[in-house]
Structure 1
Amino acid sequence: MRVHIATDHAGLDLSHHLMARLTEHGYEMIDHGPVEYDAADDYPAFCISAAQGVREDRENGLDSLGIVLGGSGNGEQMAANKVAGIRAALVWNTDTAKLAREHNDAQVMALGGRQHEFEEALELALAFLAEPFSGDERHVRRIGQLAEFERTGDIAGKLSAVTPRPFTAS
């Protein structure tokens, strides 16, 4: 499996660790940067590039997932999710890593480089990369609704049925 990885300065050391260790586990690592430490760098371009690499590989029939890293993983997840067709999930424990794949068929995991020790981060990455999508009908349906909204700005028969209302305490 090919794994596209990207970070900013806050996840650079972890990125290098993950690339080395995941390679040992048989993964083909594709590094989207940065090349060197720069405390003023910006994560969006790196993370978007990695997500685009995943999307392109998958469109070409290749088995491919991605990992984006930063201080918290939040902004990196947001950046990866800007790539049409990509679902990136913030992972903070083994359950969220597995569920991101099993229920959401996430193609990219986001991880906070300042939130996890190296070996814990490796464990989370391995859990994410190894977990298959369940293919359960309810999950397929929900992912389809996300894709429909991404394409059209609507979820036919669903979005218009939602009626926002003010909360009143009882």
Structure 2
Amino acid sequence: MKISIGNDHAGPDYKLAIVKHLESKGIEVINHGTDTFDSVDYPDFVHPVANDVENGTVDFGIIICGSGNGVAMTANKHQKVRAALCWTKEISALARQHNDANIISIPARFTAIQQAIEMVDTFLNTAFEGGRHQTRVDKISC
């Protein structure tokens, strides 16, 4: 499995912990995020993740900012991206099962690092259910 990750200044510590966790499982991670807490513009770090997902060079994406909203809005501008803002494992599972989300958006200021890691694990290990949900997912794209 190959994952693309990006973050702004609210999430370097989250990214570091998630990357370390994923690499310990043998998952390849492409890092597009900042490594400092200096203020940056999150689109500069999210568009590369969304491009990776849209182009199929990775299996999934992970994006992190303070609220998770700005990065999700940015990623969802890409045609083949379905970024889901998640703050619990249950929402992470539903984002995959019902929405076939391919990027998880994490709100660093509203989740703990361990919680974020658990959400990522759930997201990556949950399959899309298809069926009645496929019709709805097909209607997302304009």
Q: TM-score range by the shorter chain?
A: over 0.9
Contact 2:3 2:60 (8 Å CA) reproduced: yes
Contact 2:53–2:80 (CA under 8 A) maintained in structure 1: no
For structure 1, the residue ranges without an aligned partner over 5 or more in a row are 150-170
Q: Deviations over 1:107-138 (max 9, x none)?
A: 000001121111111000000011011111x2
Determine the structure 1 residue equivalent to 2:139.
145
Higher RCO (C-alpha under 8 Å, 6+ residues apart): 2
Q: CA deviation at 1:67?
A: 0.4
How far does the alpha carbon of each residue in 1:27-56 deviate from its partner, in whole angstroms, 9 at most, with x for none? 11110122x315220101211110111121
> Which residue does the alignment assign to 1:113?
108
Task: Output the TM-score relative to the length of structure 2.
Answer: 0.95
SS of residue in 1 equivalent to 2:56: helix
Partner of 1:24: 24
Alpha-carbon distance between aligned partners in 1 of 2:76 and 2:136, rounded to the nearest angstrom: 16
Shift of 1:3: 0.8
Helix, strand or coil: the match of 1:29? strand
Question: Matched residues in 2 for 1:116 and 1:26: separation?
Answer: 25
* Sequence identity percentage: 37
Q: Is this contact kept in 1: 2:10–2:37, CA < 8 A?
A: no
1:7 matched to 2:7? The reply is yes
Q: Quick check: 2:86–2:106 contact (8 Å CA) kept in 1?
A: yes
SS in 1 for 2:80: coil
Residue identity opposite 1:68 in structure 2:
I
> CA–CA distance in 2 between the matches of 1:77 and 1:25?
26
Runs of 4+ in 1 over 3 A off after TM superposition: none
| Structure-1-length-normalised TM-score | 0.80
Number of the residue aligned with 1:52? 51
Decide which structure has the larger Cα Rg and report it: 1
